[in-house]
Chain A
Amino acid sequence: MVPRSPLGSVRRAASIGASKAALAALRRTGRGGGTAAPGLLALQIDPEVVSRIAERLSDGAVVVAGTNGKTTTSRMIADIIEASGRTVIHNRSGSNLARGVAATFIEHASLSGEPDAQMAVIESDEAALPEILRLVKPRLVVLNNLFRDQLDRYGELNTVGTRWKAAFGRLPPTTCLLVDVDDPTLATITAGLDAPRTTFGLRIPEHTLDELPHAADAAICRKCGADLTYRELYLGHLGDWLCTSCGYQRPALDVTGSAVRLDGMASLTMSVEGNGQAIRDVTVHVPGIYNAYNVTAAVAAAFALRIDPATIRSALENFRSPFGRAERVRWQGREISIALVKNPVGFNEVLRTITGGGSELAAPTLIVINDEFADGRDVSWLWDVDFEMLAAGTLPIATAGMRGADMANRLKYAGVEESRLMPLDGPIDQALTTFLQRTSDSKDVSILPTYTAMLAVREILGNAGAVERFWEE
């Protein structure tokens, strides 16, 4: 418990007041979501401000973490909880570091620290997870996966895993972990904790990959060091894994996603069952196997929160992708699909989807690569993506962004004919205009941006009235 001393409440009010003022000022100056600076200010005045608000949530908090899919999954969970008639605080604009989480709580609290909702669904950055768990003290932690992502920020994958394991060891038995055990690293670091664990994963033999993709991590047994093998491999290093040397294997699944049918960039249909409940053949408007994992995670969380299947189904059927993750925009008579790319596994899955399972590109494509802090400043990861999938076919591929030239060069070495390449210099709005002009004979186009490039693309389309600005969502 946080002591409620008079000094404490003065600090809390000062912290909340100051950052509320900062938030308002940033909004007025048109600097967008502006969640980081006010949050940082609040944490400096009162480091425990998040705990003081979170402990007053009547129905507790859910924290979602993982390299891929945390934004989509947490938004699905928030939508399902809202559909069940409860109010939810949710850090929607990708502000998933401690300061962004602080700003979100403060925006939804009175000066005395009373939250304006019953629950919170908080998406957490990988590096920030230990701190966010300590501050938020959630009742449920959803762990999606751990892939290599922005190694320049986090050092190495094992470093993140080691820090997570230590943080999970400090969780009380009142916090339940919901873990994708198709990921061998996650299965290992969440075994034998005080906090109870519910496992989930997929059983989709019809979507098994033949070999481990180049981007796969952690193909080594965390118990004995031998190479892992897979009875079935679905995505990156996720699947039904087994160490033939020591017998260590994927734990039994409490909640299972199955019967996945994909409909290109438009949607997927699947079933999820476990813990005595089942949702069959639900259609969700998100593409790809990676989203089958997100749907399974969200349904497993909803089962854990004892929300009834009919409510879950209708919330999922009405679900719309978070900004830039995988959305379709109509603009100037064109159908633009935007899919965020941020690491090799995610990028491979997007390529798998836009090439219809690896045959050939279905629409002209613009890839926008930035190398700001939030994108990952090292673009080496582009060499772990299997762009060789794009070598077949004839449609043009344009490249742009701060490191667009690296992207064009990568495609050349992947065997994409140079006559199909369209390397575009200059600012993204110019590149986007040129791309759309030069591909005017195609109604459908795809844009694959990294994080800050996606914000820029959405800003351009937002100013043109094609999409809503994200902090207004």
Chain B
Amino acid sequence: MSVARTLRIGWLYPTKMNIYGDRGNVIVLSQRAAWRGIEPHVIELDIDDAIPSDIDVFFFGGGQDQEQIAVSRDLAGKKGEILQSAIENGAAALTVCGGYQLFGKVYRPHDAEPLPGIGIFDAETEAGGERFIGNVVAESQWGELIGFENHSGLTWLGSGAEPMGRIVHGRGNNGTDGTEGAKYRNAVGCYLHGSILPKNPTLADWLIARGLEYRGQDPELVPLADDLEQRAHRQAVGRARSERRDEPNRSMFSRIAAYAPIPRS
């Protein structure tokens, strides 16, 4: 064996931007590193905290409007530039929902000032009239991804960003062009909660490997027994496939059925 490896995970705004259980992603990155003898360090980066230069992989989740405004303000200027150059140099990152939007160029609300992002993704988001809520299946370079979307922002990618995946089931970036998320260098952004990494371990391992590589460590990862992960993945995809396309606006009767006891068999 070579020298002991470490994985430094920078968790952006852990208290302000953590509304949909997205901390599961941080747990998965840490555990999958630890199970391979790679020592994980989680560094929480809150408002006014400086961003250290030795972060391997960033995680940035979603928050409520009030928090997202405070975070956007905190990222303006120096802090945003440091993040930008880390990604430019090959640091890995996973951003979800609000974090994904702030990694783009701008978020335009209906009735308030535009919220500037840090422009890592060539993407713009505008407030939409409808909330996309439901399971999502997308095809990607990491295989089939499964997650749960819950957003009203519509994100449009420019020519400088590629989508993270193509929608198989669900609405995706904007409900129109069939794309989900964005990818630029080793940074990935998307609308997928669930959390996304526990049921998509291929993506988790890719982020760990890219992070290790970034600071010159061996990116080789021994395979893990992912039986439970695959089982959860298959079950969730099955649930997605059983949904009708117009979910969650289901008929009155299926909603009533959800409240009624199951019939005796």
Taking beta carbons and an 8 Å cutoff, which residues of A are in contact with B?
Answer: 30-34, 36-37, 40, 94-95, 148, 151-152, 155-158, 212, 214, 219-220, 225, 227, 344, 371-375, 377-384, 402-406, 408-410, 412-415, 418, 421, 423, 427, 429, 452, 455-456, 458-459, 463, 469-470
Contacts and interface: CB of A to CB of B under 8 A. Distances in A.
A377 B248 contact: yes
Nearest to B69: A225
B232 A95 contact: no
Given A152-B150, A158-B66, A372-B258, A405 B228 contact: yes
Nearest to A94: B259
A405 B235 contact: yes
Interface stretch (B49-57, B180-188, B249-257): B249-257
A40 B255 CA distance: 12
Interface string B175-216: 000000000000000000111001100000000000000000
Interface residues of B, number: 51
A372 B262 CA distance: 12
B127 interface: no
Interface string B60-83: 000011110010000000000000
Nearest to A156: B64
B261 A459 contact: yes
Contact of A95 (B64, B131, B259): B259
Contacts of B228: 405, 408-409, 412, 418, 421, 423
B239 interface: yes
A214 B263 CA distance: 37
B142 interface: no
A459 B259 CA distance: 13
Nearest to A33: B260
A411 B248 CA distance: 28
Given A372-B258, A402-B239, A377 B148 contact: yes
Contacts of A37: 252-253, 256
A406 B236 contact: yes
Given A152-B148, A402-B239, A409-B232, A377 B133 contact: yes
A36 B16 contact: no
Interface stretch (B2-10, B21-29, B105-113): B21-29
Contact of B261 (A32, A212, A225): A32
- A-B CB proximity, top 5 nearest: A383-B24, A380-B21, A383-B21, A405-B232, A405-B235
A346 to B, nearest CB: 14
Contacts of A227: 15
Contacts of B232: 403, 405-406, 408-409
A220 B259 contact: no
B71 to A, nearest CB: 12
B198 A413 contact: yes
Contacts of B31: 413, 415
A219 B194 CA distance: 23
Contact of B65 (A156, A344, A372, A470): A156
A423 B234 CA distance: 14
B198 A378 contact: no
B65 to A, nearest CB: 6
A393 to B, nearest CB: 19
A383 B196 CA distance: 11
B21 A384 contact: yes
Contacts of B67: 220
Contacts of A458: 261
A380 B66 contact: no
Interface in B27-52: 27-28, 31
A29 to B, nearest CB: 10
A356 to B, nearest CB: 25
Contacts, number: 152
A227 B49 CA distance: 14
A118 B256 CA distance: 30
B66 to A, nearest CB: 6
B198 A410 contact: yes
B226 to A, nearest CB: 9
Contacts of B229: 409
B78 to A, nearest CB: 21
B194 A379 contact: yes
Given A148-B19, A413-B24, A225 B66 contact: yes
B70 A409 contact: no
A152 B248 contact: yes
A383 B148 contact: no
Most buried by B among A157, A423, A427: A423
B265 interface: yes
A148 B193 CA distance: 15
B255 to A, nearest CB: 6
B244 interface: no
Contacts of A34: 260
A405 B234 CA distance: 9
A288 B70 CA distance: 36
5 contacts: A36-B260, A156-B64, A373-B248, A378-B194, A406-B198
A157 to B, nearest CB: 6
Given A415-B31, A455-B260, 7 more contacts: A148-B19, A158-B64, A377-B133, A377-B135, A380-B20, A403-B239, A409-B229
B245 interface: no
A147 B131 CA distance: 21
A32 B235 contact: no
Most buried by A among B31, B255, B258, B263: B258
Nearest to B257: A372
Contacts of B148: 152, 377-380
A84 to B, nearest CB: 31
B121 to A, nearest CB: 22
B23 A214 contact: yes
Given A383-B24, A406-B236, A408-B228, A151 B150 contact: yes
A163 to B, nearest CB: 14
Nearest to B63: A156
B165 interface: no
A30 B263 CA distance: 8
A403 B235 contact: yes
Contacts of B234: 405
A410 B21 CA distance: 12
A220 B21 contact: no
B231 A383 contact: no
A372 B261 CA distance: 12
Contacts of B199: 406, 409
B260 A373 contact: no
A249 to B, nearest CB: 20
